[in-house]
């Protein structure tokens, strides 16, 4: 426990000393820096998982388009299902990119200085916490991620499949990612069922441009992939919606932390994560995206927060 001259109490879980007063830290410039840089985590496992996610979606799109839909004799069946599946795939991958490249709510590093704490204008006797790993003042509900090496506001968990933490600023995109992956997985399974039925009822040589053994192998792998991804993402989607409606992150639930904040339940929680009143913007991963701003950020320093 550290007692500051202003009467504030400073709690450090691991008794790590404060940064020296002459340590250079400009909170305003740091926050501005964060807003002007592209977020990307250089984690080997996370990058491999992210690439695998894209390859699996591309594989599913290949099988659906070239094995099942294009050889079909029903023109409108192929067009409608092809457009629907590819639109869902684009939305899923766009949500994945937004989740991966969006700052999840990182706390600036090294802001545990006396000058910064004086600027917080805390009440006398108020306790503040410092993370001994990234030397930052931890806001309420923030937790340290050992992979991102940062404290993340409202951190839910670190997901290797999106190579990023799921936190305050990118939870919406993660929810959309799990929803769209679950939808294309269910769609792929339905199409596989129709394809097997039509092939068994007719001639295997006529239901696909590939040979029967290759067609069966490709569709079996697609069914396994679709079933696994549907199960995983549907469960994740459900737990995320439950967490949002109860205003409780997964970490807080596992640690059984008693809420010291005013909870936003149900629709209030949904509106705080997705923004505003219910609308189509809630399910649009492109909402708020500016290509020009992204290019400017890349020119100003690239992946500033790479680890």
List active site positions: 159
Nearest-angstrom CA–CA distance, 178 and 236: 7
How many residues are listed for the chain in this entry? 307
């Amino acid at each position: 426990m550290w007692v500051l001259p202003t009467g504030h109490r400073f709690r450090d879980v691991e008794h790590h000393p404060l940064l020296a007063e002459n340590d250079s830290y400009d909170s305003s410039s740091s926050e501005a820096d964060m807003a002007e840089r592209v977020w990307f985590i250089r984690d080997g496992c996370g990058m491999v998982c992210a690439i695998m996610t894209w390859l699996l979606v591309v594989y599913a799109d290949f099988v659906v388009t070239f094995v099942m839909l294009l050889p079909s004799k029903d023109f409108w069946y192929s067009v409608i299902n092809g457009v629907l599946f590819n639109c869902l795939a684009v939305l899923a991958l766009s949500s994945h990119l937004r989740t991966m490249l969006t700052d999840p709510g990182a706390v600036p590093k090294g802001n545990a200085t006396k000058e910064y704490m004086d600027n917080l204008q805390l009440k006398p006797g108020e306790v503040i916490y410092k993370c001994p790993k990234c030397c930052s003042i931890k806001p309420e509900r923030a937790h340290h991620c050992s992979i991102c090496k940062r404290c993340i506001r409202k951190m839910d968990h670190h997901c290797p499949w999106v190579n990023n933490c799921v936190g305050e600023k990118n939870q919406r995109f993660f929810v959309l990612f799990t929803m769209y992956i679950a939808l294309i997985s269910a769609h792929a399974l339905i199409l596989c069922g129709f394809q097997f039925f039509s092939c068994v009822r007719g001639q295997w040589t006529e239901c696909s441009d590939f040979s029967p053994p290759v067609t069966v192998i490709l569709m079996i792998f697609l069914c396994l992939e679709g079933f696994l991804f549907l199960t995983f993402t549907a469960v994740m989607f459900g737990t995320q919606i439950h967490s949002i409606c109860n205003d409780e992150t997964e970490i807080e639930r596992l640690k059984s932390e008693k809420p010291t904040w005013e909870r936003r339940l149900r629709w209030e929680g949904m509106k705080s994560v997705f923004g505003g009143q219910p609308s189509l913007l809630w399910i649009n991963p492109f909402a708020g995206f500016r290509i020009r701003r992204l290019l400017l950020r890349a020119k100003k320093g690239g992946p500033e927060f790479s680890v």
